[in-house]
Amino acid sequence: MDILPAAGHRRIPWLNGQGYTTEVFVSPGLDGLFEWRLSIATIDSDAEFSQFPGVDRTLMALSPQGLDLLDEAHPVRLDQFAIHSFAGENRVSSINVSQPTLDLNLMTRRGRCHGTMVSRTVAGAWTVAADDGGQAAVVLLQGTVHCGGVGLGLYDAVVVGAGTRMELEGDGVVALMMITR
């Protein structure tokens, strides 16, 4: 089990230079490309997203004001903790941005792995297990949650490998990502 404090996440520019993302976790492939990647992007203006051919993306709006997108010219409204999935080849942009907003972004390399993302309320004790051959990750979004007795801070993440469990306890909201190979 890896606990990844938000303070240790690395801030990097988008591929297209129109914004920044903070890498939460990267699972590297043997060819130097990521198998899957989890990051938190800061969107402070209307901007086109970087394209990632061969990658499936799932995005969750984190800020209370939510996020408006255009996905291949189709409007998408995301309220806080709402999710939108799209192909990395799609032309996607943020629109109507009036104040900085954050989004959680899960990217999985198509043909190598598949990922899902949901928001989940933690009330009491909850066990998360990674499938055989897969991984599971949680990111704290609100409230007070402990993992294995360690208190998580806002946007701290926990990642476990195949066949491993993490024990969560508290009162809060987390994003849960399940990765299968």
- The CATH number covering residue 158 comes to 2.60.120.10
In this structure, the answer to whether residues 121 and 78 fall within a common structural domain is no
Contact 168, 138 (CB under 8 A): yes
Q: Which domain holds residue 120?
A: 114-180
Q: For the chain, first and last CA: distance in Å? A: 19
In this structure, the answer to whether residues 35 and 94 fall within a common structural domain is yes
Taking the whole predicted model, whether its pTM rises above 0.75 is answered as: yes
In this structure, the answer to whether residues 90 and 18 fall within a common structural domain is yes
| Measured distance CA(63)–CA(94) in Å, rounded | 14
Per-residue pLDDT tens over the stretch 115-134 = 999 999 999 999 999 988 89
Contact 69, 111 (CB under 8 A): no
Neighbours of 26 (CB within 10 A): 14
In this structure, the answer to whether residues 151 and 69 fall within a common structural domain is no
Per-residue pLDDT tens over the stretch 62-111 = 999 999 999 999 999 999 999 999 999 999 999 999 999 999 999 999 99
Question: What angle is formed at CA 170 by the lines to CA 125 and CA 104, rounded to 5 degrees?
Answer: 105
| Measured distance CA(8)–CA(22) in Å, rounded | 10
Residues forming a β-bridge with 7: none
Per-residue pLDDT tens over the stretch 122-174 = 999 999 999 888 999 999 999 999 999 999 999 999 999 998 999 999 999 99
